[in-house]
Amino acid sequence: MVSERLAGRAARAGELMARRFGALSGLSGSDLELIEAAARRLESHSAGADLPGRRILVSGWASRRRVMSDGARQIFSFVLPGDPCEGRRRGAVSLVALTPVETVEAPGLFQAAEDSLLHAGLAEAFEAMREEEERLLLDHIVRLGRLTAYERMAHLLLELRDRLARVGLAEERRLPMPLTQETLADALGLSIVHVNRTIQQLRREGLIELRSGIAVLHDPDALAELCAYEPLRAPRRTSGPAANVEALARATAPLA
């Protein structure tokens, strides 16, 4: 039944957000209620669509990018499930879906996140996500300014793996890879052709495998070594989030 499938998707959206936010701070019961409420306000967008701001991405991949006057594109960051997407507002940026995506409208969450008294947990989580967003921009600047094409590709793959893994969407050596080589080129400041040759070099050396939407990192340590990759810091925890995730799963699950 359609409504059951919808409820299932909402439940997964809620779990995802609880996992992402809960890893950054302890969430109270009312925080979880807000998350649950947000999870029910699902909206789908097709690949290539411009996304509105002030939402949370819950499935699919998006990009923050700018298109220059001569048509050249630069991708600033990838938005992955669990990430908030601050649309337009800031600095001549557009938010574009790279795959079919689902978002939830979350005015309650964004508002609560400003209230560090009533919703200390959510506020802390959102602040942590803002900080991380900046950290990722800085890492991207280093990639573009100081790494070779070969290093850039390895570095980006590791970053994506880490960000996906912490919301349960990647394993240590395997991650979904829906990006076309053109999109990778737009992010890494390279030409499509050179992205292709760079991937082949990594393949030839047995470091990665890329096929049909899946990337396999055969030797993550070697990859990290060659590009001096620094993993994102493990977040501090003020309470055990695992239990919370389960509580939310129970709360949001479709009634049997």
Partner DNA sequence: CGTGATCTTGATGCTCATCAAGGCTAGTGG
Partner DNA sequence: CCACTAGCCTTGATGAGCATCAAGATCACG
Task: Give how far Cα 57 sits from Cα of 37, 78, 81, 82, 243, Å.
Answer: 15, 11, 5, 6, 23
Q: Which of 30, 94, 111, 148 binds DNA (CB under 7 A)?
A: 148
Residue 142: which of a copy of itself, DNA, none does it interact with, CB under 5 to 8 A by kind?
Answer: a copy of itself
One of 52, 53, 178, 189 touching a copy of itself (CB under 8 A) = 189
Q: Using the rule CB under 8 A, which residue among 88, 135, 236, 237 binds a copy of itself?
A: 135
Binding window for a copy of itself (CB under 8 A); candidates: 24-32, 43-51, 71-79, 173-181: 71-79
Q: Which position among 43, 131, 172, 205 is part of the footprint of a copy of itself (CB under 8 A)?
A: 131
Q: Which does 194 bind (CB under 5 to 8 A by kind): DNA, a copy of itself, none?
A: DNA
Return the structure tokens found at 244. Answer: 């919370």
Question: Which parts of the chain are beta strand (E)?
Answer: 42-45, 55-59, 62-67, 73-79, 84-85, 94-97, 101-105, 174-176, 208-211, 214-217
Provide the minimum distance between the beta carbon of 14 and a copy of itself in the complex, in angstroms, as a whole number.
Answer: 29
CA distance 168 to 170: 6
Cα(82)–Cα(103) distance, rounded to whole angstroms?
9
CB of 64 to a copy of itself, least distance (A): 8
Separation between Cα atoms, residue 203 and residue 98, nearest integer Å: 24
Report 178-197 residues binding DNA (CB under 7 A): 180-182, 189-194, 196-197
